[in-house]
Amino acid sequence: MKSENVQPEDLKWRCERCQCDLVVGPVAATYMNNRFTTDLPYCPNCKTVLITEQVATGKMAEVEQILEDK
């Protein structure tokens, strides 16, 4: 997964905790002892990551299925 998963409307979000605008950058994720990096919106201050429904039910679900099939 790369930055094609980030839509312009994703960058209109602000972190509730820090009140910072989200930025897009590499985020590490782990699933079933597999670690991968993808570009997602996150808060530059507290590092909270925004995973939209589209990403969660689309690309992340595809990656999950591939890893479970191994």
Domain count, the chain: 1
pLDDT digits (tens, 9 = 90+) for 9-65: 666 889 999 999 999 899 988 777 778 888 889 999 999 999 888 777 776 667 677
CATH number for the domain harbouring residue 62: 3.10.20
Q: How far apart are CA 70 and CA 68, in angstroms?
A: 5
Distance set, CA 3 to CA 17, 24, 47, 68 (Å): 24, 8, 17, 24
Instruction: Please say if the pLDDT value at position 2 is more than 50.
Output: no
What are the tokens at 35?
A: 């670690």
Q: Tokens 């094609």 sit at which residue?
A: 4
The alpha carbon of 23 is separated from its chain's Cα centroid by a whole number of angstroms, namely: 11
Which residue type sits at 8?
P
Domain hosting 53: range is 3-69
pLDDT digits (tens, 9 = 90+) for 24-38: 899 988 777 778 888
Global pTM exceeds 0.85: no
Q: How far apart are CA 60 and CA 34, in angstroms?
A: 13
Which residue type sits at 49?
V
